[in-house]
Every structure is written in structure tokens, then in C-alpha cells.
């Protein structure tokens, strides 16, 4: 038996470079990450998208990204037209990697005709990477978790 057939990483051969490029290009069309969203929001001027928190009111009240629009996933079909401009791309987020509320909201928004991406990591990684977040006490910021963020969370070097 060759190493490729016993090695769990290579049990299924890697895609061709062209297939890999197509896959990762498509992935980037659907996803963004916390650091990129933070950098876009911190830059001067209009970031070119609206950030939507898709969690419940209770979760929103616990804390959210400053400037985000609150639109719980279940309310997307009813409230999106009132809260969002169909000409402006939307970036959705929910609690964190263990929650697919942002993906469900992104699907609902796409079905309504919005251009949409999901922010991977959600609110959990926003806070863990040390970015400012808004709570009932005002704007807060925790130190970055060294396991989730580099020394300078705004630039991981990738």
C-alpha cells in the first residue's frame, strides 16, 4: 500500500490547481472574516456593505458589533426591505463558528435578491480578536485572545 492510500490527508487526492482556484475563489465570494470586516469598517469612508447581526434581541443586547444592523434571521423575510438597501451588499454574522444563523439569514437575503456574504467567526471571534463591541454599558474591548488573533489583530499577515 502506498503512503497516499494510508495517509488520511491524501486518501482523497488534492484537487487540480485549476479546481482548487475555482473552489477558493467561490469560497471568498461567499465568506469574509472578522479581521477583514474590522479593517473595512475602520477605514475612512463607506465600507461598501452593511453588517447585519442575525441573532436574537437577547443576544444583540448582550453585545454586538458597533454600527451593525439588527435583523434576526427569522425576521429577514418581513423586515429586510425596510432595513436594507438592495443595492448595497450585506455581510451577516451570528454568534460564532458553532452557529449557522448567519448562513440561514444569508440564504434568506439572497433569495430576496440581496448580494450577501457571511462573516466567519461571528460575534464570538469579533470579541475574541479584541475588536470593540457595544453592550448596554457602552463600547467595550477585551484583550485579544492570543490563540485566535495575532499581536496586531488588524493585520494577521495573510
Torsion of CA 7, 12, 18, 21, to 10 degrees: -80
Residue 136: the pLDDT is 87
Q: What pLDDT is recorded for position 147?
A: 85
Q: What is the pLDDT of residues 81-116, one digit of tens each?
A: 999 999 999 999 999 999 999 999 999 999 999 999
pLDDT score recorded for residue 100: 93
Phi, psi at 99, each rounded to 5°: -125, 135
pTM (2 d.p.):
0.89
- For residue 33, the model assigns a pLDDT of 95
Q: Which residues of the chain have pLDDT under 70?
A: 1-5, 149-158
Cell of 98: 458553532
Burial 16-54 (b: 16+ CB within 10 A, else e): eeeeeeeeeeeeeeebbbbbbbbebbeeeeebebbbbbb
Say what the pLDDT of residue 103 is.
97
Distance, CA of 52 to chain centre:
10
pLDDT for residue 6: 84
Instruction: Quote the pLDDT of residue 44.
Output: 87
Task: Catalogue all structural domains in the chain, each as residue range(s) with its CATH number.
Answer: 32-158 (3.40.250.10)
CB 70 within 8 A of CB 31: no
pLDDT of the residue at 53:
98
CB atoms within 10 A of CB 150: 14
Amino acid at each position: 500500500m502506498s503512503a497516499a492510500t494510508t495517509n488520511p490527508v491524501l486518501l482523497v487526492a488534492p484537487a487540480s490547481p485549476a479546481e482548487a482556484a475555482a473552489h477558493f475563489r467561490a469560497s471568498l465570494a461567499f465568506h469574509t472574516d472578522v479581521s477583514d470586516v474590522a479593517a473595512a469598517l475602520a477605514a475612512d469612508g463607506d465600507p461598501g456593505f452593511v453588517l447585519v447581526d442575525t441573532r436574537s434581541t437577547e443576544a444583540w443586547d448582550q453585545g454586538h458589533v458597533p454600527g451593525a444592523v439588527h435583523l434576526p434571521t427569522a425576521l429577514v423575510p418581513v423586515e429586510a426591505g425596510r432595513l436594507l438597501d438592495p443595492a448595497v451588499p450585506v455581510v451577516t454574522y451570528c454568534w460564532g463558528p458553532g452557529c449557522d444563523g448567519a448562513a440561514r439569514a444569508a440564504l434568506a437575503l439572497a433569495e430576496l435578491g440581496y448580494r450577501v456574504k457571511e462573516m466567519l467567526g461571528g460575534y464570538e471571534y469579533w470579541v475574541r480578536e479584541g475588536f470593540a463591541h457595544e453592550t448596554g454599558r457602552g463600547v467595550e474591548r477585551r484583550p485579544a485572545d492570543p490563540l485566535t488573533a495575532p499581536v496586531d489583530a488588524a493585520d494577521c499577515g495573510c
